[in-house]
Amino acid sequence: MKTRIDSVEDITRNFAEQGYICSDQIALAIYLAAQLHKPVLVEGPPGVGKTELAKAAAAFLEAPLIRLQCYEGLDESRALYEWKYGKQLLYTQLLRDKLGGMLADTDSLEASMSRLGDLGEAFYSETFLEPRPLLQALRSEEPAVLLIDEIDKADQEFEAFLLELLSDFQISIPEMGTVKARHQPLVLLTSNDQRELSDALKRRCLHLYIPYPEASHEAAIVAARVPELEAELREQLVAFIQYLREQEMKKLPAISETLDWARALVLLHADSLDQAMVADTLNLVLKTEQDVTLARELLPAWLRKFGKR
Amino acid sequence: MLSRRLSEFVQALRGAGLRVSPDEAAIAMQAVALVGYDSRQRFHDALAVSLVKEEQHRAAFETTFERYFEGHPQGQQEQEGDAAGAEAGSSGMPPALDSADGDGLEGSPGEQEGAELNALLSSSAEQLQQRMAEAAAGMDFTRMEVMTQQGLYTRRLLMNMGMGAVDDRVLQLAQGSAADEARADSLREWRSQVREQAASLVRRQFLLHGAAKGRELREQTMRQVAFRDLREFNEVKTLVRRMARRLASAHQRRLKVAKRGQLDARRTLGRSIRHDGVPVSLVWRRKPPHKSRVMVICDVSSSVSDAARFLLQFLYALNDVLPRVRSFAFASQFDEISDDFQRYPPDVAVGRVLDRLSGSGTDYGAMLEDFLGRCERELDRHTTVIILGDARNNYLPERAELLGQIRRRAKQVWWLNPEARRQWNSGDAVMASYLPHCRVAHRCANLNDLERLVDSLLTSLRAD
């Protein structure tokens, strides 16, 4: 992992080379997070590139990306570690004779017990420990980027469980004691605002809100990601998407949808947005029937106004 | 110096309603130290990233930042202060009392005051600030509570600085010759500069002390005042959201309790087969997630619509804990309004519903019949029906037996009435005939009532 980040501009530049066009605020948040060793909570509407940001950050820092996808019912054994019960069981079965031999010359129960005790933690050793993403991040040989994706989908208990990790970069495992991070990972949490996160969690994190991008910004993103698209069509497409975002849609189109659409238009060899083309491909951008219908109604007026420039 | 300024800013933020912990403030300072002050935008962003943890607080942060740093970052302000001083100096420090004052002095206030005036007028920008700070130190800004008090405090501060003498002098000069007139003008200009400085000092003090206290005071009033007067307050939306959030988090935590408990023997045995009958992983019985559903029927005729507005806002802000709310509204006609609330933010939705349905001539009997016609099939023992209305039936048949029918199919019926209990049966109000069918009937006239009611509603739902 890169240990030195020269400046915020450094990040912006590197991200741009990777094709992740970001605003100054985003770069600044990453810069501060890396310098102050603080986790960042990234919020914003779906599809604005929250997860991509973590990937870009990992590539920039030349660090492995460890990802934990949250969901309802996620618990410690999935997130942190698990004992490989099956393997433990198999080993005891296979070693049964050996154990029997070892204990053969003991005469009392106490003696057998103490001999078993001498075996020590054999059955609760690293061999049988299955590290899950959080433990991986803590024990990683080089500093890692840890992405805790969609934390709002996890239960509140899990959120509370994360607090120790986020503030001290350590975690307690009853059988093994406290595991401290070898290297402090850069932690990014994302949330789609499905539920309110606790104040305790927010307090430990820097907070970054990524809104829908402005037109010029979005055009730059499309240019970076879908360079095959002609400039004029790109402008048109971005203008239309921006216009859609101002309407009363059920689900607003995000950047990922803009990109999908741009790619589709390239495949279809479109050279300008016309009524038929848009009507055919609208469902790439809008994901509910109601929105598609609304957009179809709005389309002719929009084309008259902005379509041909 | 800077850290003091920043911690004052943090305090002003607290006054504006943000919760900033000392730890966060420390991080903000580290962040600022990292990015420096060269770029105002970056300075601002660094503070925002470390202090604003909720989008709804962003606006408050922006205004406080704007006001507190007054359009220039730290260093620049100092320079500008100097520049102003220099300027005042170069323009001959207009008011300085040179020879000319000899003649001006007749009939002027006592000699001592004249000397003080002299001192004031001839002081450099720095001395002036020093003087202002001293005067301010002698004042108690912590008693400022409302924005409009700022003018008063500014005036008081200026008086304490001895600017009263300047006022007198201006008046005096204005009546004199043309030359005096000109001097009066420049004096006036200088005075307004000083006044500007004083005003900004007071504004900062207000942000520090007054804003928080004023907010508390307003919040208390907002909670107690009747719904229809709440329109006067523009922060009511934030308050409702905050109250709802507090309730939501309180109840959410309790909803998750008792997840673990008894061993689920059947599933534990099933899983143990993989491990040769050794019960390696234990499965606990889980409480099935509660399925309670709420149906709200709101009277939106003019007399009740204010209460309806807040009840609906409250319930939809509780989306986390109450995912299944269906809402209906009626005045002259009856209709479902859940869709409006799903598509638009609550305050917009409320407006739309009122536009569509409001009117007069409520008929509770017809409403109950409509409701049963639409929803009878969906009423089950998990459903709570809440009716918000004043039960003023315009002397139409009340048809209370329909409410009885609803109650028998549903888990419970709640009636919220925005009027005081003693008016429940006055005039054309017919609460008496509906009451026997309601498990709970309460007055719901202000935010405090509403909070209490929703709290007990959530408690009763948890018992499902």
Give the tens place of pLDDT for each residue, B369-379.
Answer: 999 999 888 88
Q: What three-state secondary structure class fits B412?
A: strand
Confidence of residue B104 (pLDDT cuts 50, 70, 90): very low
Nearest Cα residue to B23 out of B51, B49, B63: B51
Tally of domains in chain A: 3
pLDDT at B415: 93
All residue ranges of chain A with pLDDT < 70 are 1-4, 120-121, 306-309
Confidence of residue B263 (pLDDT cuts 50, 70, 90): confident
Segment (H or E) for B222: helix B211-224
pLDDT at B87 over 70: no
ipTM of the assembly? Answer: 0.83
Q: Is residue A46 part of a domain?
A: yes
pLDDT at B322: 78
pLDDT at A309: 46
Q: Is residue A3 part of a domain?
A: no
pLDDT at B83: 39
Report d(CA A189, CA A70) in Å as an integer: 10
| HEC-encoded secondary structure of chain A | CCCCCCCHHHHHHHHHHHCCCCCHHHHHHHHHHHHHCCCEEEECCCCCCHHHHHHHHHHHHCCCEEEEECCCCCCHHHHCEEECHHHHHHHHHHCHHHHHHHHHCCCCHHHHHHHHHHCHHHHHCHHHEEECHHHHHHHCCCCCEEEEECHHHCCHHHHHHHHHHHHHCEEEECCCEEEECCCCCEEEEEECCCCCCCHHHHHHCEEEECCCCCHHHHHHHHHHHCCCCCHHHHHHHHHHHHHHHHCCCCCCCCHHHHHHHHHHHHHCCCCCCCHHHHHHHHHHCCCCHHHHHHHHHHHHHHHHHHHCC
Same domain, A285 and A253: yes
Q: Do A203 and B31 touch (CB under 8 A)?
A: no
Q: Do B49 and A28 touch (CB under 8 A)?
A: yes
Nearest by CB: B45 against A28, A93, A205: A28
Same domain, A28 and A173: yes
Nearest Cα residue to B284 out of B297, B294, B295, B271: B271
pTM greater than the 0.90 cutoff: no
Partners of A158 on chain B (C-beta within 8 Å) are: none
Output the CA torsion sign for B228, B229, B233, B235.
negative
Domain-ending residue, one of A209, A238, A266: A209
Q: Which residues pair with A171 in a beta bridge?
A: A179
* Weakest mean pLDDT among A231-240, B69-78, B129-138: B69-78
pLDDT at B257 over 70: no
Partners of B30 on chain A (C-beta within 8 Å) are: 36
pLDDT at B85: 39
Output the CA torsion sign for B441, B442, B444, B448.
negative
User: What distance in Å separates residue B150's CA from the closest CA in chain A?
Assistant: 33
pLDDT at B76: 40
Burial class of residue A109, CB neighbours in 10 A (0-12, 13-18, 19+): exposed
pLDDT at A120: 62
Confidence of residue B396 (pLDDT cuts 50, 70, 90): confident
Segment (H or E) for B340: helix B338-343
pLDDT at B173 over 50: yes
Partners of A207 on chain B (C-beta within 8 Å) are: 49-50, 52-54
Same domain, A108 and A59: no
Domain-ending residue, one of A193, A209, A225: A209
pLDDT at B355: 83
Nearest by CB: B27 against A36, A208, A248: A36
* CATH class given for the domain over B293-462: alpha beta
Mean pLDDT of all residues in B34-51: 89
Report d(CA A11, CA A198) in Å as an integer: 30
pLDDT at B78 over 50: no
User: What distance in Å separates residue B52's CA from the closest CA in chain A?
Assistant: 7
Q: Is residue A304 part of a domain?
A: no
Nearest by CB: B49 against A29, A155, A196: A29
pLDDT at B84 over 50: no
Owning domain of residue A239:
215-297
Mean pLDDT of all residues in B90-119: 49
User: CB atoms < 10 A from the CB of A8, how many?
Assistant: 23
Same domain, A174 and A276: no
Q: Are B63 and B16 in contact (CB under 8 A)?
A: yes
Domain-ending residue, one of A92, A108, A128: A128
Q: Which residue has the tokens 């606790």?
A: A198
Same domain, A191 and A64: yes
pLDDT at A272: 78
pLDDT at B72 over 80: no
| Beta-sheet strand order (sheet of A65-69) | A65-69, A145-149, A186-191, A40-43, A206-209
CA closest to B32 among chain A residues: A32
Q: Which residues pair with B443 in a beta bridge?
A: B417
Same domain, A12 and A57: yes
Partners of A156 on chain B (C-beta within 8 Å) are: 252-253, 256
Same domain, A123 and A153: no
Q: Is residue A193 part of a domain?
A: yes
Same domain, A47 and A139: yes
Judging by DSSP bridges, how do beta strands B334-336 and B412-417 pair with one another? unpaired
Partners of A29 on chain B (C-beta within 8 Å) are: 49
Partners of A202 on chain B (C-beta within 8 Å) are: 53-54
- Measured CB to CB, residues of chain B less than 8 Å from chain A are 19, 21, 23-24, 27, 30-31, 34-35, 41-42, 45-46, 48-50, 52-55, 58, 245, 248-249, 252-253, 256, 274-276, 278, 280-281, 320, 343-344
pLDDT at B46: 92
pLDDT at B410 over 60: yes
Q: Which residues pair with A188 in a beta bridge?
A: A40, A147
User: What distance in Å separates residue A166's CA from the closest CA in chain B?
Assistant: 14
pLDDT at B318: 79
The CA distances from residue A108 to A97, A100, A203, in Å, are: 19, 14, 57
What is the longest distance spanned by two Cα atoms in chain B?
114
Same domain, A55 and A32: yes
Q: Do A32 and B41 touch (CB under 8 A)?
A: no
Contacts of B6 (CB under 8 A, 6+ apart): B25, B28, B29, B32
Same domain, A204 and A150: yes
Q: Do B276 and A156 touch (CB under 8 A)?
A: no
Q: Which residue has the tokens 């992405």?
A: A147
Segment (H or E) for B387: strand B383-388
Tokens of A14: 């590197």
Judging by DSSP bridges, how do beta strands A129-131 and A81-83 pair with one another? antiparallel
More confident residue, B346 or B266: B266
Q: Which residues pair with A131 in a beta bridge?
A: A81
Q: Do B343 and A195 touch (CB under 8 A)?
A: no
Report d(CA B17, CA B229) in Å as an integer: 23
Average pLDDT, chain B: 79
Tokens of B79: 């320079």
Domain boundaries, chain B: 2-83+115-220, 260-289, 293-462
| CATH code of residue A205 | 3.40.50.300
Report d(CA A92, CA A88) in Å as an integer: 6
Same domain, A14 and A47: yes
pLDDT at B409 over 80: yes
Q: Do B274 and A203 touch (CB under 8 A)?
A: no
Judging by DSSP bridges, how do beta strands B383-388 and A177-180 pair with one another? unpaired
pLDDT at B86 over 60: no
Q: Is residue A50 part of a domain?
A: yes
User: What distance in Å separates residue B78's CA from the closest CA in chain A?
Assistant: 27
Task: Provide the b/e sequence for A123-155 (b: ≥16 CB within 10 Å).
Answer: beeeebbebbbbbbbbbbeebbbbbbbbbbbbb
pLDDT at B317: 80
Mean pLDDT of all residues in B77-105: 40
Q: Is residue A148 part of a domain?
A: yes
pLDDT at A200: 87
Same domain, A234 and A293: yes
pLDDT at A33: 92
pLDDT at B7 over 70: yes
